[in-house]
């Protein structure tokens, strides 16, 4: 094996995936603008929907582990020369995982529902559970397309999912402007991949893809990938959920501006990075011998963006927030700057995790994300009260928590790089 890099994505496909991620980000922004505007002064309804939205996408994030592992699995599997394949079909396994999670969520909603979703949990648990079950198919198909380098179809599927979501949410704003109405609209978009199967031969071929390993090993690897993705999702999109669990109800309902700021400050880095995560994994699998060297250019770019973003965000972020959402949405400049830097830490952890997965270091991949989430939750439990206490806990949790995961990932990656150099020497 040589150290020469091999192409994973062409220029046109790279742009296509980028456009798809921008559209997906735009839809996310539109939803968190439409819903507060629709509810007006009812901040309790806004925070309830934001909790639902973040909880839904936290579970989508957990199922992102299916995408990561199926990208790796099918990229390796399609290169195997085995005439009599007996490995399990990836879509069937992915759907089984998703349906199992959906049923478990619905059955346990009496326990978690009141704490996470408040008094309306009974109306929200059903659509959330069904959407999680359906989304597992989307996550698996997207992963297979990434592993096969079918980036054009990958981009169309991401765009289709986003387009359906904004149409449904826009319709809800017109005819069912309630927390439950918006929740059903946001959840129902997870059927987009099923619609795509009717029209795309590429998607139908992806539905028959097989793993590179047997069922038991595949489930173990999916478990590690979903555990890591779940920890990532808690910090990336599920943060309002852990904030409500570590704050009083009054503190949480007063944190609408903070929650919106968390979303806006991390989007410029994390949405494109998550969109290209499949590209990164496929690239790392193709170029295993590069090891940590493959991370250096992107890490430098993230650092530059983070420093510039922190300065700009600290200066104009509070003004933009009040301009878009109104005078009740007030936040300090230092909080915005801190959140931008925290987003950079999460971005770096996402990259090191992708490299761990590509090198089949699944256990260390999940351990790093678990450590990051655990440290973040511990920081959120610190008794920092008074004015600005919630903001300070949030910035510290999201900024310092990922350091624990980065240390774990970098240690194992450095060790793997030394072993690779020894083998190729």
For 210, the 3-state DSSP assignment is strand
pLDDT at 45 over 70: yes
Q: What is the pLDDT of residue 201?
A: 93
pLDDT at 98 over 90: yes
pLDDT at 125 over 80: yes
Rounded mean pLDDT, 411-417: 83
pLDDT at 386 over 60: no
The residue with greater pLDDT, 169 or 281, is 169
Q: Using one digit for the tens of pLDDT, what is the confidence trace for 187-212?
A: 999 999 999 999 999 999 999 998 88
Percent of the chain at pLDDT > 70 equals 91
pLDDT at 107 over 50: yes
Which class for 273: exposed (0-12), middle (13-18), buried (19 or more C-beta within 10 A)? buried
Q: What is the pLDDT of residue 420?
A: 60
Angle value at C-alpha 372, between 368 and 373, nearest 5 degrees: 120
pLDDT-wise least confident of 42-51, 145-154, 343-352: 42-51
Q: What is the pLDDT of residue 3?
A: 44
pLDDT band per the 50, 70, 90 thresholds, residue 404: very high
Cα(50)–Cα(30) distance, rounded to whole angstroms? Answer: 13
Query: Does residue 193 contact residue 138 with C-beta atoms inside 8 Å?
Result: yes
Q: Answer whether 0.85 is exceeded by the pTM.
A: no
- Mean pLDDT of the residues in the chain: 84
Q: What is the pLDDT of residue 83?
A: 64
pLDDT band per the 50, 70, 90 thresholds, residue 424: low
pLDDT at 154 over 60: yes
Q: What is the pLDDT of residue 422?
A: 57
pLDDT band per the 50, 70, 90 thresholds, residue 144: very high
Q: What is the pLDDT of residue 139?
A: 93
pLDDT-wise least confident of 1-10, 30-39, 135-144, 362-371: 1-10
Rounded mean pLDDT, 381-385: 78
Percent of the chain at pLDDT > 90 equals 27
Q: Using one digit for the tens of pLDDT, what is the confidence trace for 315-338?
A: 988 888 888 777 878 888 899 999
The CB-side HSE value for 85 (13 A sphere, CA atoms) comes to: 17
Hey, which of 326-335, 355-364, 407-416 has the most confident mean pLDDT?
Answer: 407-416
What phi and psi values does residue 20 have, to the nearest 5 degrees?
A: -60, -40
User: DSSP per residue over 364-424, as a string?
Assistant: HHHHHHHHHHHHHHHHHTS---STTHHHHHHHHHHHHHHHHHHHHHHHHHHHHHHHHHHHH
Q: What is the pLDDT of residue 1?
A: 39
pLDDT at 421 over 70: no
Q: Using one digit for the tens of pLDDT, what is the confidence trace for 280-321?
A: 777 777 766 666 777 777 888 888 988 998 999 889 888 888
Rounded mean pLDDT, 244-260: 77
Rounded mean pLDDT, 124-142: 92
pLDDT at 267 over 90: no
pLDDT band per the 50, 70, 90 thresholds, residue 246: confident
The residue with greater pLDDT, 332 or 238, is 332
Q: What is the pLDDT of residue 414?
A: 86
Q: What is the pLDDT of residue 385?
A: 67
Q: Residue written as tokens 């991401």?
A: 158
Q: 303, 255, 289, 279: which is closest to 421 by C-alpha?
A: 289
Q: What is the pLDDT of residue 4?
A: 46
Q: Where are the alpha helices (DSSP H) in 148-210?
A: 151-175, 179-188, 192-199, 201-206
């Amino acid at each position: 094996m040589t150290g020469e890099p091999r192409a994973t994505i062409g220029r046109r496909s790279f742009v296509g995936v980028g456009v798809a991620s921008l559209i997906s980000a735009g839809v996310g922004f539109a939803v968190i603008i439409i819903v507060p505007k629709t509810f007006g002064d009812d901040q309790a309804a806004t925070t309830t929907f934001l909790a639902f939205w973040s909880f839904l996408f936290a579970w989508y994030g957990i199922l992102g582990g299916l995408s990561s592992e199926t990208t790796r699995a099918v990229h390796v599997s399609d290169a195997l020369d085995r005439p009599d394949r007996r490995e399990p079909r990836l879509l069937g396994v992915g759907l089984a995982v998703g349906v199992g999670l959906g049923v478990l969520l619905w059955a346990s909603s009496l326990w978690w529902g009141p704490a996470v979703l408040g008094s309306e949990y009974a109306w929200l648990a059903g659509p959330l559970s069904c959407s999680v079950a359906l989304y597992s198919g989307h996550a698996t198909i997207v992963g297979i397309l990434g592993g096969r380098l079918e980036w054009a179809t990958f981009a169309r599927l991401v765009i289709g999912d986003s387009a359906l979501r904004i149409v449904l949410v826009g319709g809800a704003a017109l005819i069912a402007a309630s927390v439950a109405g918006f929740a059903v609209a946001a959840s129902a978009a997870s059927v987009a991949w099923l619609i795509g199967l009717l029209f795309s031969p590429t998607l139908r071929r992806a539905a028959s893809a097989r793993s590179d390993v047997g069922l038991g090993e595949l489930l173990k690897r999916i478990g590690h990938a979903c555990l890591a993705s779940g920890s990532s999702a808690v910090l990336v999109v599920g943060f309002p959920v852990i904030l409500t669990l570590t704050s009083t109800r009054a503190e949480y309902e007063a944190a609408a501006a903070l929650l919106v700021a968390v979303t806006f400050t991390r989007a410029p880095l994390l949405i494109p990075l998550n969109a290209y995560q499949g590209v990164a994994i496929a690239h790392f699998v193709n170029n295993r011998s590069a090891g940590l060297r493959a991370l250096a250019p992107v890490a430098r770019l993230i650092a530059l963006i983070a420093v510039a973003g922190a300065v700009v965000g600290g200066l104009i972020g509070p003004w933009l927030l009040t301009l878009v959402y109104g005078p009740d949405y007030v936040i300090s400049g230092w909080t915005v700057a801190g959140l931008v830097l925290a987003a950079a830490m999460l971005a770096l952890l996402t990259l090191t995790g992708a490299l761990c997965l590509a090198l089949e270091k699944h256990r260390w991949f999940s351990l790093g994300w678990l450590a990051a989430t655990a440290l973040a939750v511990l920081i959120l439990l610190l008794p920092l009260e008074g004015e600005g206490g919630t903001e300070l806990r949030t910035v510290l949790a999201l900024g310092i928590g990922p350091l624990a995961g980065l240390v774990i990932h970098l240690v194992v990656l450095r060790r793997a790089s030394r072993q690779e150099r020894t083998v190729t020497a």
